[in-house]
Chain A
Amino acid sequence: AQSVTQPDIHITVSEGASLELRCNYSYGATPYLFWYVQSPGQGLQLLLKYFSGDTLVQGIKGFEAEFKRSQSSFNLRKPSVHWSDAAEYFCAVGERGSNYKLTFGKGTLLTVNP
């Protein structure tokens, strides 16, 4: 069965600093990978996705992620964090044979210091 690991439960960065959130997955075939963001009390918003092709994908709000098959990773990055980026971030893998149901990681809570 597929699984997703987000090793960092909580990360604190200063506004303007760069950010990298880690995600490792376990999946037998080529994965469909997603990053979602959840602000307090809100639903899940898709930041970006990877299906195939270019391994560096661009998303909304200035985020990008790089798929590295050799490391089974799909880390999320942003060069300069804004205070409004404070939220919880979830990495997920979609399973092809199951209507692409999503398996989520436990999430990384991002705190941004002024």
Chain B
Amino acid sequence: EPEVTQTPSHQVTQMGQEVILRCVPISNHLYFYWYRQILGQKVEFLVSFYNNEISEKSEIFDDQFSVERPDGSNFTLKIRSTKLEDSAMYFCASRERDLGTYEQYFGPGTRLTVT
């Protein structure tokens, strides 16, 4: 069964450093998402991406964040200058075209630790 993959599984970085989290969505999916989950809290929407552009972003997704689909298979989340409060589990998700299912398939997550 096809699945969403994410790398790395765990990333440790120092405050102020740039990080890139990588995701490979399911191959025929067209909609892509990033969510994050701070330890002990609920999963929060960050951004959605369709047709090579951001379709919606939350207030969390400020100028320090960016997303890209550089090569038609990968989907990346970049945090330009990490802060301590960026420490969280980051989930990538993808969804196929609007055929009536609308379900999002989640990757296993990348745990980001900012020290």
- Residues of A whose CB lies within 8 Å of any CB of B are 32, 34, 36, 42-46, 49, 51, 90, 92, 94, 98-107
Q: In the complex, what residues of B have CB within 8 A of residue A104's CB?
A: 42-44
**Residues of B67-115 whose CB lies within 8 A of A:** 91, 95, 100-109
**Residues of B17-76 whose CB lies within 8 A of A:** 31, 33, 35, 41-45, 48, 50, 55-56
Q: How far is the CB of A25 from chain B (nearest CB, A)?
A: 14
Q: How far is the CB of A52 from chain B (nearest CB, A)?
A: 9
Of the A-B pairs whose beta carbons lie under 8 Å apart in the complex, a sample of 20, sorted by A's number, is A42-B109, A43-B109, A46-B103, A46-B104, A46-B105, A46-B106, A51-B101, A98-B48, A99-B31, A99-B50, A99-B55, A99-B95, A100-B95, A100-B102, A102-B35, A104-B43, A104-B44, A105-B42, A106-B41, A106-B42
Bin chain B's interface residue count. 20 to 34
With contact pairs A32-B102, A100-B95 given, residues A44 and B56 touching in the complex (Cβ less than 8 Å)? no
Q: How far is the CB of B58 from chain A (nearest CB, A)?
A: 8
With contact pairs A42-B108, A44-B91, A106-B41 given, residues A98 and B103 touching in the complex (Cβ less than 8 Å)? no
Q: In the complex, what residues of A have CB within 8 A of residue B102's CB?
A: 32, 49, 51, 94, 100
Q: In the complex, what residues of A have CB within 8 A of residue B50's CB?
A: 99
